[in-house]
């Protein structure tokens, strides 16, 4: 059955102290609402910013005492703006979920089983699951009758082609906690796998580097995922803006014993990484600090570059070589210094980057490699487009 690309979807992003609502018609974002907390007279208040398709922003002339009202207010704003009405009803609400067990490695139309499964994985994912659960409950209550679709952040990575899905733990423990290297950033990798093929850039052995506030690397063989850097949770793998990346598990155990599991997981996810090393989670500030010879910034930058280059090298060894490298996400797409530093360590594999400040990306991608080098592509990702495509397919199948 053909996918209806004109469906109207609301994509929800629930943070610990924020809610973002992005409204799409087909794959075009028509409006977004961002509710966030501020301090006013010693009390926490919540404000909302409207961003329209033309990029214009408007701060709503209203403040709220609680984030719980966000869904009701969002519905009222979208209706007042004319984006949602009887003639243009919502087709679905998309809620992204981390890879929290086998059930969540696939996309689902939310039902009672979904809510029961979310309760089960609170233990292994106390940082992300509560926000997801809250978002789903509020969405179902506010937009009654509209399907809520749970979008797995690992669905695109759970192919049989993966060679790194297991942990070396006793089987009874793996089964009890439903553990596996599910991977994350799946919406980005799913989009990239399709886009690379559509652009005619497909090579047999490729590595895609998703470098943003969260960072991961995935190896593709014949366009299918073979290895990925994140594991049971997004904490495994590369250090990123506020995450430790892979560390000695004994440290996690000690922190859990000292602080409690939830606090330890929060520390390693939200208070570590570049932020802990350099005092900033913004790569632009870290690069500027390194250029000013600030030792903390330089150390953080070098550790980050070594981590990404090292993971590319690891995947090269596992695949028996690499034919092309792809950079995507905010840092990967925009930071010339980061790309240059990473590729500068990979000359022995046949990669050499040029100064790409003036490269025309109007074709939807750029090859920033020198003529003598294997290809190095910069391709913008579009996670929402991938999720909307998969949600449309899921709804069409359910009809």
The residues spanned by each domain of the chain are: 201-383
Confidence of residue 3 (pLDDT cuts 50, 70, 90): very low
Residue-level pLDDT at 357: 67
Q: What is the pTM of this model?
A: 0.92
Residue-level pLDDT at 358: 64
Number of alpha carbons in the 13 Å side-chain half-sphere of residue 331: 27
CATH code, 201-383: 3.30.420.40
For the chain, what is the mean pLDDT?
A: 92
- E strands in 126-187: 148-152
Active site residue 153: yes
- Exactly one of 28, 54, 68, 153 is catalytic; which is it? 153
Q: Which pLDDT tens digit goes with each residue over 130-183?
A: 778 888 999 999 999 999 999 999 999 999 999 999 999 999 999 998 999 999
- Contact (Cβ atoms closer than 8 angstroms) between residue 40 and residue 63: yes
Residue-level pLDDT at 127: 67
Tell me the average pLDDT across 65-93.
90
- Taking Cα atoms as reference points, which of 149, 8, 150 lies closest to residue 78? 8
Neighbours of 28 (CB within 10 A): 13
What backbone torsions phi and psi does residue 120 show, to the nearest 5 degrees? -65, -35
Q: How are beta strands 57-59 and 92-97 bridged, if at all?
A: unpaired
Tell me the average pLDDT across 303-316.
98
Confidence of residue 98 (pLDDT cuts 50, 70, 90): confident
- Check the CA dihedral 76-79-81-83 and report its sign: positive
Q: Which pLDDT tens digit goes with each residue over 203-255?
A: 999 999 999 999 999 999 999 999 999 999 999 999 999 999 999 999 999 99
| Angle, alpha carbons 76-11-25 (nearest 5°) | 80
Question: Tokens 């553990």 appear where?
Answer: 179
Confidence of residue 362 (pLDDT cuts 50, 70, 90): confident
């Amino acid at each position: 059955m053909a996918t209806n690309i004109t469906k109207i979807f609301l994509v929800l992003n629930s943070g610990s102290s924020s809610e973002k609502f992005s409204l799409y018609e087909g794959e075009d974002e028509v409006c977004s609402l961002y509710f966030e907390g501020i301090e006013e007279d010693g009390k926490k208040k919540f404000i909302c910013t409207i961003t329209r398709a033309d990029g214009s922003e408007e701060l709503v002339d209203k403040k709220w005492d609680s984030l719980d009202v966000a869904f009701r207010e969002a519905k009222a704003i979208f209706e007042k703006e004319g984006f949602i009405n009887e003639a243009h009803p919502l087709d679905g609400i998309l809620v992204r979920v981390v890879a929290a067990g086998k059930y969540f490695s696939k996309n689902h139309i939310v039902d009672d089983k979904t809510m029961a499964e979310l309760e089960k994985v609170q233990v292994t994912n106390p940082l992300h699951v509560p926000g997801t659960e809250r978002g789903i409950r509020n969405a179902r209550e506010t937009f009654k009758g509209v399907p809520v679709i749970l979008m797995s952040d690992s669905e695109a990575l759970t192919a049989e082609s993966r060679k790194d899905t297991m942990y070396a733990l006793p089987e009874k423990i793996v089964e009890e906690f439903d553990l596996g290297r599910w991977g994350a950033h799946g919406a980005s990798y799913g989009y990239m796998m399709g886009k690379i093929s559509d652009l005619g850039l497909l090579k047999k052995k490729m590595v895609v580097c998703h470098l943003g506030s969260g960072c991961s690397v995935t190896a593709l063989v014949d366009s299918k995922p073979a290895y990925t850097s994140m594991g049971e949770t997004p904490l495994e793998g590369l250090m990123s803006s506020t995450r430790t990346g892979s560390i000695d598990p004994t440290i996690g155990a000690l922190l859990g014993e000292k602080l409690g599991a939830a606090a330890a997981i929060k520390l390693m996810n939200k208070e570590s990484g570049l932020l802990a090393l350099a005092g900033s989670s913004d790569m632009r500030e870290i690069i500027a600090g390194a250029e000013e010879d600030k030792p903390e910034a330089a150390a953080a930058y070098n550790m980050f570059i070594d981590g990404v280059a090292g993971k590319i090298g690891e995947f090269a060894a596992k695949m028996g070589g690499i034919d092309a490298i792809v950079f995507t996400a905010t840092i990967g797409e925009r930071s010339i210094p980061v790309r240059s530093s990473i590729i500068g360590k990979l000359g022995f594999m046949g990669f050499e980057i040029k100064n790409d400040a003036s490269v025309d990306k109007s074709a939807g991608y750029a090859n920033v490699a020198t003529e003598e080098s294997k290809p190095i592509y910069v391709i913008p990702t579009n996670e929402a487009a991938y999720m909307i495509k998969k949600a449309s397919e899921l709804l069409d199948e359910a009809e």
